[in-house]
Amino acid sequence: MPLDNKTISEAVKQAKIKSGDKKFNQTVDLILDIMEIDMKSPEGKIQEVVELPHVTGKPNKVCVIASGEFAMKAKNANADYVIERADLDALNGKKKELRKLAESYDVFISEAPLMPLVGRILGPVLGPRGKMPVPVPPTADIVSIINKHRKTVVVRMRNQPIIQVSVGSVQMKDEDLVDNTMTVLRVLDGKLKRGLKNVKYAFIKTSMGEPVKIKP
């Protein structure tokens, strides 16, 4: 499947039309049917964090795990939630609270020195969800890191040769949705064994709409 702004743009327009007039801001997904790939090999287990060029209509909720001055900087940077060292210790073994935490936030960022503790306490709930924290040094610019991760998506393929990833929402401009879609496709072009030749079919779909095929 070739990279082509025009064909993706047409699919985005059609998907928006088919989405219907709903009272909420529907998500727009890119769905890919992958072929000629061994699902049991490493190439069949793709998990890539991709920074999109445009913030989606539903920016990621970011949780930062930090201590001292770094925790204060994270709060000032408008992190959605900041877990300090004492809070982290208090969560140890509390499965219900840990599950709720894992489901409430899209991205977790951890001060690097806390990672061993984070791995032990949060790893069992975040690992299976593909949300293991991104480690950053205490000297890092937490403002730019949070802003970056507000617009990241996880491109994942496990067990089935299907990739479904959000590229935005129906209230976004068509050209911004096309840019985000192209960004994901470029990453996969470098990850799949035969690049985009491994893509059998590609669709654009809104939350409540029908899938629209991207025609090469």
Residue at which a domain ends, from 149, 171, 187: 149
* Domain total of the chain: 2
Residues 87 and 138 in one domain: yes
Q: How far is CA 170 from CA 17, 70, 179, 205, 208, in A?
A: 10, 36, 14, 10, 11
My answer on whether 122 and 76 are in the same domain is yes
- The CATH number of residue 141's host domain is 3.40.50.790
pLDDT of residue 3: 61
CA 5 – CA 173 distance, rounded (Å): 14
Backbone angles phi, psi at 47, to 5 degrees: -150, 105
Closest to 77 measured CA to CA, from 90, 66, 88: 66
- The secondary structure of 164-180 as a DSSP string is EEEEEETTS-HHHHHHH
Q: Are residues 145 and 156 in the same domain?
A: no
Which residue, 3, 75, 34, is CA-closest to 164? 34
Residue ranges making up the domain that contains 205: 5-57+152-213
140 shares its domain with 172: no
pTM for this prediction: 0.81
Greatest Cα pair distance, the chain, in angstroms, is 54
Pick from 131, 149, 167: which residue ends a domain? 149
User: Are residue 67 and residue 144 in the same domain, yes or no?
Assistant: yes
The residue out of 123, 149, 175 marking a domain boundary is 149
The CATH number covering residue 42 comes to 3.30.190.20
Digits of tens for pLDDT over the chain (216 positions)? 556 788 999 999 999 988 877 778 899 999 999 999 888 887 778 888 899 999 887 889 999 999 999 999 999 999 999 999 999 999 998 999 999 999 999 999 999 999 999 999 999 999 988 899 999 999 999 999 999 999 999 898 888 899 999 999 999 999 999 999 999 999 999 888 888 999 999 999 998 889 999 976
CA distance 73 to 78: 9
Give strand pairing partners of 163. Answer: 32
Residues 69 and 135 in one domain: yes
87 and 162 co-located in one domain: no
